[in-house]
Amino acid sequence: MELRKRVRYRLRANAVFTWEGVEHRRFRGEGATRDISLTGVFIFTLTCPPVGAAVHLEVFLFALAGGQRHLLMKTEATVIRVEHANGGEGFAVVTEGITLAEGSNR
């Protein structure tokens, strides 16, 4: 039974995320999105924050005209699920609002 209330779109895009662990230690990870909606994202990565962690997420959506700049999605999110299965390691987040910005290619 599908419980999602929003449509998710299959989209592979590079993602960078950070979160704070115990003793206020900062962690950083990188991965790629599997799918995305207005309220959530699933990210393939070997560096998974724990369930319940607040993460700052940046997704590099696509290159803009000329390829020198890209559209960047920024959001604060909460990890709701971590998966460790058959090459599908990653995590799902629920977002708290999305900001789109133009960024330079890295």
pTM of the model: 0.83
Question: 7: which DSSP letter?
Answer: -
Q: For the chain, list the domains and their CATH numbers.
A: 9-101 (2.40.10.220)
Per-residue pLDDT of the chain (106 residues; tens, 9 = 90+): 445 567 888 999 999 999 998 888 999 999 999 999 989 999 999 999 999 999 999 999 877 666 667 789 999 999 999 998 876 799 999 998 888 888 765 5
